[in-house]
Structure 1
Amino acid sequence: MKYLITLFLLITSFAFSQVKVGGHIVDEQGEPIPFANIIFKGSTEGGVSDENGKFYIESENTYTELMISFLGFETKIIPLKARNFDLKIVLKEDAAALDEVLVYSGKTKKKGNPAVEILKKIWAKKRQNGLRLYKQYEYDKYEKIEFDLNNIDEKFKKKRLFKGMEFVFEKIDTSNITGKPYLPIFINEALYKVYGKNKPSQKSNETLIANKNSGFDSNQELIEFVKQLYVDYNIYDNYLKFFDKSFTSPLSRTGVSVYNYVLADSAYLGNKWCYNIVFYPRRKNELTFKGDFWVNDTTFAIQEIEMNATRSANINWVKEIYVAQEFEVLSDSVFLLKRDHMMSDFSFNSKDKSKGVYGRRTTLYNNYEFEKERDDDVYKAKVSSYEEEIYNKPDDFWSENRMEKLNKDEVGVYKMLDTLKTVRKFKQLYNVGATLATGYWQIFDGFDYGPLFSSFGSNDIEGFRVRVGGRTYFSQNDTWRIQGYAAYGFKDDKVKYGISGKWLVDKRNRIILSLGNRRDIEQTGVSLTTANDVLSRSFASSSFFSRGDNYSLTNVNLTNLAVDVEPIKNLNFRLGATYKTLSSAAPDSLFNVSYFDKNGFEQAKIKQTELDVGITYTPGRKTAGFGVERNVSNEGRYPTVYLSYTKGLKGFLDSDFDYDKLQLYYRHRVLMGGFGKLKYFLEVGKTFGEVPLTMLDVVPGNQAIFTAPRTFDLLNYYDFVTDEYAALHIEHNFNGRIFSRIPLLRKLNWREIAGVRAVIGNLSDKNVALSAFDLQGKAPTKPYYEYFVGVDNIFKFIRIDFVFRGNYLDMPGATKFAVKGGFGFYF
């Protein structure tokens, strides 16, 4: 992401195709004609106008005439020049087609529509095409990811920002999709070998053969970010998932309820007779496309498809989405994907002349094999490790193996960025972008100051709090890292600190050793799941805004030694040993972590040694980098299972308690087509043995004014304490499905949210008696729950929740209703 921010700070003479055409289509009254069909006469090359009647198409071939057609209007043919921009094309109503117009009434009919009849045959035949026909398969895959700055004009080039960097504008080209001038500024190329099998069970593995970056050595972050935006998809699926949203596919079985279909043409593509079907949405503000596809008349397999997301779709920061696929014919009947291209126009607003960034991914497929039988190990995903040879292939290798030649401007990007890296001003801009994205500021090579966003805070014990810190950072692939901080509270006049180190000792199995120590004030009880991360920081002990007083803070002195192993991709095992001492940060307040020993004496400090084993499995997760720390792109997208066992060792290093604790959670987010997305989190746990408050499971309250994941917004800290529990969090984002149907709200692009949280638990009498803090009646023996409704995407990044308490209304100081806020980057 930091590169994307840097490139937005930088944001084109034209490169020449044979024919370029752009403009808008209107009727005789000057009203725009949306989704009109535009085609170069005598070809199958063309496109569809958008909902405002605007269009742009181009071709490398020479055409002299353009044909424009739409139901109920006369087809118009106009002569072309090499450059045809800002055309205004007026279509006249076709008197002979008036009956047809009356029948369709602006929307195509479903019954008796030949396009819909063809669509039904596509549904019936879709499982008889493609890779799923074969027991096993393998193929070569070439992927090119590119970022381009767009809408660059002469005025923009002369800005003082670019003084000394004018040479970057020498590589300007013109988009063959939008007609806008653009400047390529980043390219990544990758070659893969893909292995898969369908029987007896579906498995696949993608092995990276070669990778080439333009620019900076840590571009894996940007590459993985783009790949998560442009996830693989199957055009035959009912829903296509882009930008964490589910678009209704034009080939979906539910497509007839959201799309209009028109049989526009039929012709030979190669030696195959195909039908051309145009589709466009029935309503605005839904996640749909407009475009056309060519389908074979016997296999009813798609041979070509092009489509653009409608501009009215409820997506932030994305002005255009263009998708195109081409298929090749194998054995005269089976259609296999040959080329997949997706382009998005990222911009802060949707105005035509606003500047932004094109993000493009082009994927080509070749050398399909179906007869080779492989060992099962070939199909298993491997843990990624950095291999220098993969990232340093010579130019001759790429000339021989890339499946699509780079154009002259793409070739120039490599040289341009090598030069740009030597420019002092660009380095400064790059560092600003990196700081905004990561929260760390590079002081000198190998050391970053930060995180900046934790520099200041406030709580009832420390008063105003100042924190300074840093980390070693030579590259994204560092095999070791040391980080630490020091903090000072002006009210308690005490210095706190934390320091931690990690070392990747085995890249193949990702064996990581870590050691650290922290002495600080902490808000314990903000998570049911036990965590001994040395540098974790509680939001409650350093926030400026909170609800009510909070003296329930704890002095923590924690030392942790751990080893992590990832023998199978995305399956992590962790073994840790922890020694910690705990005492109340405000011993004179009502809150107290003290306990009664076997003689009945109150002990103010707890000393505890424990061992813990944790297993985390996140199938499908994508990571960037190969070092001791990796970046995860949108981790919540993947299901996660976590299981842990903690053993308290009484007597070891003068430890106070012997106990056993088991915890298990499962979280997942499900995209539910046109109904939005559902997130849920389920956790259970139990503690065996007699332990005081700080060893128990505290139901996490949230006294901050902002929402926090896996907490209960209307509970105070330590309202409920358990030694066995079950908790459930459910949240559904309707993605604007309801608001899009309300005229006054439609243009705001707000999104509706609803959810519920619940917890039930018990607490043994022995643990109640052991703790000095009054735990009587603290367990939620009948389920506590709260529910909420909210509005997301206010000004594109603000969320507001209205939270209601469901029960336990008579608890002392109970909060029955609250309004919570949140911020986030949403597509």
Structure 2
Amino acid sequence: MKNKIQFLLLFILFPLITWGQTKVSGKIIDSNNQEVPYASVYFKNSTEGVVANEYGKFYLESAKSYTTLVISFVGYKTLEIPLTERTNLNMNVVLELDNLLGEVKIFVGKTSKKNNPAIDILRKIWERKRKNGLNMFARYEYDKYEKIEFDLNSIDSAYQNKKLFRGMEFIFKQMDTSKVTGKTYLPIFINENIAQVYGDNDNNRKREKSLGNKNSGFDTNQHIIAFVKDLYAEYNIYNNYIKIFDKDFVSPLSRTGINVYNYVLADSAFIEDKWCYNIVYYPRRKGELTFKGDFWVNDSTFAIKKIAMEASKDANINWVKDIYIEQEFEVVNDSVFLLTRDHFMSDFALSKKESSKGVYGKRTSIYKNHKFDIKHPDEFYAEKVNYFDESMYKRDDEFWKSYRFEPLSKDELGVYKMLDTLKTVPKFRMLFDLTSTIIGNYYHIDKYKFDYGPIFSTFGYNDIEGLRLRTGGRTYYGPNDKWRLEGYGAYGFKDNQFKYGVSGRVLLDNDTRLILYGGNRRDIEQIGVSLTESKDVLGRSFASSSLFASGDNTKLTKINLSTLGLEIEPVKNLKFETTFSFKTLRAASDQFNLDYYVDKENNIIADETKQSEIMASIEYTPGRKTVGYGVDRTDIDNKYLRLYLRYTQGLKGVLDSDFKYEKLQLYVSKPLLLGGFGTLTPILEVGKTFGEVPLGLLNVVPGNQSWFNIQNTFANLNYYEFVTDEYASLHLEHNFGGRLFSRIPWLRDFNLREIVGVRGMYGKISHGNIDLNASSIQYKAPEDIYYEYYFAIGNIFKIFRLDFSWRGNYLDMPDSRKFAVRGSFAIYF
């Protein structure tokens, strides 16, 4: 998510206005000068309208000409305002209380759940929601056109005259005006996609085949591509919750809606010869993930014909000032309503102030040419593992003219040419390269097809190396490279030793993602912070080079690791892998050792472990989505199930290897979105080592002596406090997302988020392994189930999380830490 937010900073660095036929804006107050929130604002004798926000402000624009504006709210007299001009902005509207409607004034503010006709209609929507649209057919297919656009908004003359834009003034020729907010904006990015969609409701299968994709720029950065794809996930307004930016907003059509929304039956009218009711809804409480808006629903099928949703201004979401959704449905016959148009707009900004400048992110999807009950074989729906059709990205203008369901505006068409021109401007290239470096953690040198980095690993510190400097890079011709070489060099100013690492990967078969990889690393590592080791030969834990740490961090290991392996993905998201590795391990200082007895009489001690291993693993990640078709891919989202099973065989005698053993490990994780109750993240790890091995090959319970959070470690444990050869670890964390704090008035405005968690570990160590031990570590296993519990406050200043952790037991162990404070920086919506 951090990459996604930083990506927006690129657009915030950059900013013929087109007018609709009728444009109005203003603020609604009552006779006491109090704001009237959520009033209905619409053009007379039309279904074009909006709902004022919580401050009584509104903006409405139409391509048609209207002469009368109607403003109404139950409990107030309906007001009709003549429109003498085509544009009427900043109107000050005063509504008067309707004294004749005293018996229904209960609808002012919170509305009644009883004897409310709007809720009666809502219940009928619930009854029919599974019987409308595509759900009525066993199989369906349709054509889909999708356009994603980013626009710099709130452009004024002062902004255009900034020094930043000198030499780039031509970009302002593409400016336009938003029909939703009335703000001027500058289109700066467009991505178009044409696809055919096939679905099978009987077997819950779906396939989307892309026919063409056109991008106005930034198509070489995988992190940007992943951001664009994940920014606007698909949603269904009939579901109880609508997931937007990793947040679960309560749908106004959900069964739980009556607990968080007020509903008012506002109007009724014909829409395309169908009699429809208009229902206005708005939040019952502040600070919750809710919308305000209205919808039109048919009086016989109770299917939605049109709906508008705008997120509450005070919703607990970062970096987003406004979210607006509009969907339209087509009447196929008396009982079938199909989604034909879906428009989503968000206003990204560093502040939610009305005057703050930001970036509009807009997605428009149009659906046409529906067909039903055409049967396809099961293999038709099988998802390709790594399908890539390069011609899809090279469609000519004639293709797009024939496949676009609606033409691009003059300003949108101009964006393609504008971006091509901008890329020739040195100042723009500098800004783009700087932002891409921050996002991707690498600085790209196009002349040499080389990425320098990772830049955030340049500096490090630990008790053995002291200050550590690192430099490195990788080959990079593009996001779909079939091969990649990487390497680094590092130097510690305290131990005066040079370290290095090199690796290579090559994609041998595109369809099954058969990849050959290998490498070598000589470095210093804290090997006591992970139960399931990474296969990344260049990997290095945060604990090994933390600039800020507590306690003694001298228990570091010199590691010389070489690997050679193959991985294959014969079925989408099912990966098999086998790796051969050889490593030598020895202590990095005299203050710690990994010694073990060589003979049964305990007379001979070895201080170095040499070990050859062969590893085989299976990884299953259903629901995982990625971008990139080369040797490297980038995840779009991390909310998928990960099931990882690994078997390791120690090969004694191979390359003078010391031990024979077997090791079995299982890792399972799956974030669970619990609707309005937040996200629960369980992580389970279990493992067992069969055979007698020294400390360097056992499973050390991962401690954390840094001041920052490290996933799957124990904040109150020191390194090597527990050692096992058989273990089970469970981490449970629940993020309420601010649901509790939002109920506390004096805390609500800070948008803090409450997190609670517990983590535990059970483990054993065999007598054989205890007898083998000659190291400086006295083995102890958590046979009584060691556990910690913690409470965290997230979203502090929108970027910081603070954890308070308590040790649950084993309080009498030497140097045991009963309480720990850990922090982490992250940027989330």
Per the shorter chain, which TM-score range? over 0.9
Check conservation: 2:788, 2:807, Cα contact below 8 A. Answer: yes
Structure 2 CA distance for partners of 1:217 and 1:286, relative to 1, 3 Å: closer
Does the C-alpha gap of structure 1 residues 8 and 225 become closer, same or farther in structure 2, counting only changes over 3 Å? same
What is the CA-CA distance between 1:776 and the residue it aligns to? 5.1
CA shift, 1:598, in A, is: 5.4
Shift of 1:332: 2.5
* Partner Cα separation in structure 2 for residue 197 and residue 403 of structure 1: 25
C-alpha contact 1:21 1:56 (8 A) present in aligned 2: yes
Quick one: percent identity of the two aligned structures?
57
Amino acid at match of 1:697: N
Asked if structure 2 preserves the Cα contact closer than 8 Å seen for 1:532 and 1:578, the reply is no
1:470 aligns with 2:473: yes
The answer to whether the Cα contact below 8 Å between 2:801 and 2:824 also exists between their aligned partners in 1 is: yes
Decide whether the 8 Å contact of 1:768 with 1:774 is kept in 2. Answer: no
Matched residue type, 1:297: D
Deviation at 1:137, TM superposition (A): 1.6
Is the Cα–Cα contact under 8 Å of residues 469 and 486 in structure 1 kept in the other structure? yes
Deviation at 1:774? Answer: 5.7
1:399-430 CA-to-partner distances (Å, cap 9, x unmatched) read 11111211111111111111111111111111
Q: Which residue in 1 is equivalent to 2:728?
A: 726
1:505-526 deviation per Cα after TM superposition (whole angstroms, max 9, x unaligned) = 2222111111110000000021
Decide whether the 8 Å contact of 1:188 with 1:223 is kept in 2: no
Q: Deviations over 1:21-62 (max 9, x none)?
A: 111111112111100000011100000000000111101111
Structure 1 residues 428 and 384, CA gap change in structure 2 (3 angstroms): same
- Counterpart position of 2:343: 341
1:556 aligned onto 2:532? no
Moved more, 763-772 or 174-183: 763-772
**Aligned position for 1:49:** 52
Distance 2:235 2:415 in 1: 29
Q: CA deviation at 1:458?
A: 1.1
One-letter code of the match for 2:255? Answer: R
Are the equivalent residues in 2 in contact too, given 1:528–1:699 (CA < 8 A)?
yes
Higher mean displacement: 393-402 or 775-784:
775-784
How big is the shift at 1:634?
3.1
- Worse overlay, 385-394 or 805-814: 385-394
Q: Residue in 1 aligned with 2:739?
A: 737
1:56/1:104 CA distance change after superposition, 3 Å: closer
Q: For the Cα contact (< 8 Å) 1:583–1:606, is it kept in 2? A: yes
Q: CA deviation at 1:597?
A: 4.3
Question: Once the two structures are superposed, what CA deviation does each residue of 1:772-809 show, in whole Å capped at 9, x if it has no partner?
Answer: 22665511111000000111000001111110000000
Q: Given the alignment of the two structures, is residue 497 of structure 1 paired with residue 500 of structure 2, yes or no?
A: yes
Match of 2:100 in 1: 96
Deviates most, 410-419 or 768-777 = 768-777
Residues 590-632 of structure 1 show CA distances to partners (whole Å, capped at 9, x for unaligned) of 4434443457411111111111112111111121222211111
| Matched position secondary structure for 2:429 | helix
CA contact (8 A) 1:597 1:603 kept: no
Conserved 8 A contact 1:67-1:77: yes
Q: How far is the alpha carbon of 1:217 from its aligned partner?
A: 3.0
**CA shift for structure 1 position 222:** 2.9
Name the CA distance, whole Å, in 2 between partners of 1:333 and 1:496.
70
- 1:540 partner SS: helix
Counterpart of 2:817 in structure 1 is: 815
| Shift, 1:216, TM fit | 3.2
1:641 maps onto 2:643 in alignment: yes
Tell me which of 513, 516, 531 is aligned to 1:510.
513
Q: Which runs of 5+ in 1 are unaligned?
A: none
Partner Cα distance (2:222, 2:462) in 1: 39
CA contact (8 A) 1:221 1:625 kept: no
Measured in 2, the distance between the counterparts of 1:217 and 1:803 equals 43
Offset at residue 668 of structure 1 (A): 0.8
Question: In structure 1, what is the Cα distance between the partners aligned to 2:181 and 2:575?
Answer: 45
Once the two structures are TM-superposed, the CA of residue 443 in structure 1 deviates from its matched residue by 3.8
Partner residue, 1:769 = 771
Q: CA deviation at 1:677?
A: 1.1
1:551-594, CA deviations, whole angstroms, 9 ceiling, x for partnerless residues? 111110001111121222222211111011111111x2244344
Superposed, 1:251-650 pairs within 5 Å as 251-445=253-447, 446-586=449-589, 588-597=590-599, 600=602, 601-635=604-638, 637-650=639-652
Match of 2:8 in 1: 4
State the match for 1:215 in structure 2: 217
**Is 297-306 or 204-213 further displaced after alignment?**
204-213
Kept in 1: contact 2:753–2:794 (CA 8 A): yes
Once the two structures are TM-superposed, the CA of residue 219 in structure 1 deviates from its matched residue by 5.6
Q: How many residues are paired up?
A: 822
Does the Cα contact within 8 Å between 2:594 and 2:696 map onto a contact in 1?
no
AA paired with 2:13? Answer: L
TM-score (ref. length: structure 1): 0.98
**Matched residue, 1:31:** 34
User: What secondary structure, in the 3-state scheme, does the structure 1 residue paired with 2:670 have?
Assistant: strand
Paired residue for 2:176? 173
Alignment of 1:622-701 (within 5 A): 622-635=625-638, 637-701=639-703
Q: Which residue of 2 aligns with 1:84?
A: 88
Distance 1:532 1:315 in 2: 36
- Structure 2 unaligned spans of 5+: none
Matched, 1:236 2:238: yes
What amino acid is the match of 2:811?
A: L
Question: Secondary structure of 2:392's partner?
Answer: coil
Deviations 1:324-381 (CA, angstroms, capped at 9, x unpaired): 1111122331111111111100000011111111111111111222221101011122
Q: Secondary structure at the match of 1:141?
A: strand
Letter in 1 for 2:97: E
Tell whether the 8 Å contact from 2:8 to 2:348 is kept in structure 1 after alignment. Answer: no
Cα deviation for residue 812 of structure 1 reads 0.5
Question: Which SS does the other structure have where 2:13 is aligned?
Answer: helix
Q: Deviations over 1:257-309 (max 9, x none)?
A: 11000001111110111111000011110110000001111111111100100
SS in 1 for 2:10: helix
Q: Which amino acid aligns with 1:747?
A: D
User: Which residue identity lines up with residue 643 of structure 1 in the other structure?
Assistant: L
- Structure 1 residue 468 displacement after superposition: 1.0
Partner of 2:167: 164
- Give 2:252's aligned amino acid: P
Matched AA of 2:287: N
Label 1:487 to 1:594 Cα distance change in 2 as closer, same or farther (>3 A): farther
**Residues 596 and 772 of structure 1 are in contact (CA less than 8 Å); yes or no, is this contact kept in structure 2?**
no
Q: Distance in 2 between matches of 1:491 and 1:538?
A: 19
Q: Say which is worse superposed, 379-388 or 143-152, in terms of deviation.
A: 379-388
Letter in 1 for 2:264: V
> What letter corresponds to residue 670 of structure 1 in structure 2?
L
> What amino acid sits opposite 1:612 in the alignment?
M
TM-score, with structure 2 as normaliser: 0.97
